[in-house]
Amino acid sequence: MKKIVLTALITMASSINIYANISINSDSYQSVIKINEDGTKKKEWVKAEKVLPGGVVKYVNTLNNDGVETATQLVINNPIPKEMQYLSSSAECQGSCVIYYSVDGGQTFKKPSELFVGLGQERHLAKAEEYTNIRWVLDNLSGNSQSSVGYKARLK
Amino acid sequence: MKIVLFVVLSTFLFAQGVPAGTKIENQAKLEYRLGDNNITVYSNKVIDTVDQKLDMKIVCQEAEEVIVGVSEVKRALTFRLVNSGNGSDNYLFSPLSGAESNFNVLNPEIYLDNGDGIFSLANDKLVEEMNLSADGNATLFFVGDIPDDADKYSDNGIKVASEKQEGLAYGESKQVDDYYALMAVEEESLSDLCRYKVSHLAIELEKTATLSSDALYRGTTIHYKIALRVKGTGVIRNVLVEDLIPEGTEYLPNSLQLNGEEYGDFNGTAISVNVGEITQEVESDEPQHFVTFDVKVI
């Protein structure tokens, strides 16, 4: 009896370890020009500190799978802040993914060529600044690995 | 290794933009499948506070030099101040004189327009500072007196300093409340000059009277002659000569003439003659025009 109970306990402990623990962390960055002592300049992305109208912010969502099991069918939805305008073609991901956009607050998502706004004569292909949400779809994220998705937007 | 960081001041497309102090939030949602389980997690909320761009400009609004005469007082030059930043700011004004001026104006002052775009001592307000909201603008007047010995040109204007900008050079920032104010204006946008140009052109009138008798009696006709002389060279426009008929006399109808030809009006109390434009290309003491009219002693 004791042996069976022990085995059950060991089995349970092992089961806990195989669950994936995926966290998502969001950060914002802005572009700065770094001037070295020798006068050389380099453009870099640093944590956003001074956000001014017209300035560009890069948002990065980092996924971290702490477990050993592979997670599948990952979908990341990111509403674009209403004070920001999405910069065309700036959405990206590490590795492979499919990116969709919404112009109706996240109710529906489509590819850019399928996104329309307006009615009647005013109906037109949505411009990047009219996007309201971004969605990334990743097939999987292996255990003990990281990935990231991101986009750039301009402050109105 | 010393590293200097400059925030990229990108080309700003908008005069105003999201107000300073606004909190921008970004948060993502992740959904994934693990075995038979669907799991949803949220990211942290990234909150960025919009900083204030200190951006203003003052510009002279005079299309040409403003013509002034010596000894004239309270002559105005018009300027427009625009706050094209994304937050309100308090602006301090000081009069400015151009280095290449031929004379200094007296009693320089700055007035805030009441909205009609025309300088008026009665309606406009003497100011040393004012507050403008984001994307706000104001019309200001530099006002000064022209000295007796003024000649040629004098450049004058307004220098603007923003309270939040104090101590900041272009591209520098400092903390204001829970955000930063960043100086986005070059020094040359903080002031501007307009130009006074002195004209010495003036009209002198000399009036003489001739009696039809050796003394003044009832019925005596008085013949008045007004000579117009131009001092200086140039063009004077819209010249109008008016004169009241003396008490105790009556105007003799049809006697009013300009240079010997019947011309002008009598309204019951005064004669008026619209001489129009007078041009003097060379200095001369000779009168250019004569206005004559007769009255009878009653």
Q: pLDDT digit string (tens) for A102-126?
A: 999 999 999 999 999 999 999 999 9
Q: Which residues of B touch A26 (CB under 8 A)?
A: 26-28, 43-46
- B49 vs A: CB within 8 A: yes
Asked if B32 lies within 8 A of A75 by C-beta distance, the reply is: yes
Q: How far is A84 from chain B (nearest CA, A)?
A: 8
Asked if A76 lies within 8 A of B10 by C-beta distance, the reply is: no
pLDDT higher than threshold 80 for residue B196 = yes
Q: How far is A20 from chain B (nearest CA, A)?
A: 7
Question: What is the overall mean pLDDT for chain A?
Answer: 88
Q: Which residues of B touch A52 (CB under 8 A)?
A: 7, 9, 12, 17, 50-53, 86, 182, 184
Quickly state the pLDDT bin for A20 (edges 50, 70, 90). low
Residue A26 has its nearest CB partner, among B35, B46, B180, at B46
Residue B43 has its nearest CB partner, among A34, A50, A61, at A61
Q: In what order do the strands lie in the sheet with B125-126?
A: B56-60, B75-83, B137-145, B106-112, B125-126
Q: Give the global pTM.
A: 0.69
Quickly state the pLDDT bin for A13 (edges 50, 70, 90). very low
Chain A, residues 81-100, CB within 8 A of chain B, namely 81, 83-84
Query: What is the average pLDDT across B80-89?
Result: 94
Q: Which residues of A touch B43 (CB under 8 A)?
A: 24-26, 61
Q: Which region among A15-24, A43-52, B33-42, B103-112 has the lowest average model confidence (pLDDT)?
A: A15-24
The total number of residues shown for chain A amounts to 156
Closest Cα in chain A to B28: A78
Query: What whole-number percentage of chain B has pLDDT above 70?
Result: 95
- B40 vs A: CB within 8 A: no
Q: A with B: how many residue pairs have Cβ under 8 Å apart?
A: 146
Pairwise pLDDT comparison (A148 vs B187), residue with the higher score: A148
Class for the domain spanning B202-297: mainly beta
pLDDT higher than threshold 60 for residue B13 = no
B56-163+187-198 matches B202-297 in fold: yes
Q: What is the per-residue pLDDT across A78-93, written as a single tens digit (0 to 9) for each?
A: 999 999 999 999 999 9
Q: What is the per-residue pLDDT across B153-168, written as a single tens digit (0 to 9) for each?
A: 999 999 999 988 888 8
- Parse chain B into domains and list their residue ranges: 56-163+187-198, 202-297
Pairwise pLDDT comparison (B233 vs B96), residue with the higher score: B96
Query: How far, in Å, are B26, B27, B47, B112, B297 from residue A26 at the CA level?
Result: 8, 7, 10, 49, 101
Q: What letters, b where the CB count within 10 A reaches 16 and e where it falls short, cover A106-123?
A: beebeebeebeeeeeeee
Question: What is the overall mean pLDDT for chain B?
Answer: 91
Query: What is the average pLDDT across B89-113?
Result: 95
Mutate to test the interface with B, among A15, A16, A52 (most CBs of B within 10 A): A52
| Of B236, B231, B243, residue with least CA distance to B273 | B243
Q: Which residues of B touch A35 (CB under 8 A)?
A: 3-6
User: Taking phi first (over 0 means left), then psi (-120 to 50 degrees means alpha), and beta for anything else, what does residue B249 get?
Assistant: beta
Q: How far is B131 from chain A (nearest CA, A)?
A: 21
Looking at the DSSP bridge assignments, the partners of residue A56 are A154
Looking at the DSSP bridge assignments, the partners of residue A110 are A101
Class for the domain spanning B56-163+187-198: mainly beta
Q: How far apart are CA B236 and CA A92, in angstroms?
A: 72
Is CATH 2.60.120 the right assignment for the domain spanning A2-155? no
Q: What is the reported pLDDT for A31? A: 86
Q: In degrees rounded to 5, what are phi and psi of residue A17?
A: -65, -25
Q: In degrees rounded to 5, what are phi and psi of residue A8?
A: -60, -40
What is the CA A3 to chain-centroid distance, rounded? Answer: 48
Asked if B8 lies within 8 A of A141 by C-beta distance, the reply is: no
Query: Which ranges of B40-188 does DSSP label H, i.e. alpha helix?
Result: none
Q: What letters, b where the CB count within 10 A reaches 16 and e where it falls short, cover B69-97?
A: eeeeeebbbbbbbbbbbbbebebebebbb
Q: Which residues of A touch B49 (CB under 8 A)?
A: 51
Residue B49 has its nearest CB partner, among A23, A51, A79, at A51
